[in-house]
Amino acid sequence: MSPLRLLWLLLAIWGAVHPLYWAAQWFAGNPWSLGSLLEGWTANAASRGLAWDLMIAAIALTLWIISEVAVRRNFMALLAIPATFLVGVSCGLPLYLFLRARPL
């Protein structure tokens, strides 16, 4: 495995563990409901802006993944889409770059 590919993998792992740690901290002190989580995302202008920023980035990444999979036929790269929406862009983007960098 190339050093750059290893770096993408390490960033994907970090991008999964770190946000999930903070999400677990939030859920430990708040009710387990999607409504209260969405309320936290819209609590103020800063959090709303960040939520929209991440959503737009996730949609752009998804479109990029789909368009490249259509050309390259690297179907394993599709795993980055659920990682993006279930964990976050900080996991999905480096995971996609890791999967994209593999020898075909």
> Please, what is the end-to-end C-alpha distance for the chain in angstroms?
13
The distance of Cα 97 from the centroid of its chain, to the nearest Å, equals 12
Q: For residue 73, name the pLDDT band (cuts at 50, 70, 90).
A: very high
Could you tell me the two tokens for 17? Answer: 């563990």
Q: What is the pLDDT of residues 52-61, one digit of tens each?
A: 999 999 999 9
Q: What is the pLDDT of residues 20-47, one digit of tens each?
A: 999 888 888 887 877 888 888 888 999 9
pLDDT reported for residue 58 = 97
Average confidence (pLDDT) over 59-75:
96
∠ Cα 37 40 42 (to 5°) = 115
Average confidence (pLDDT) over 5-16:
97
pLDDT reported for residue 20 = 92
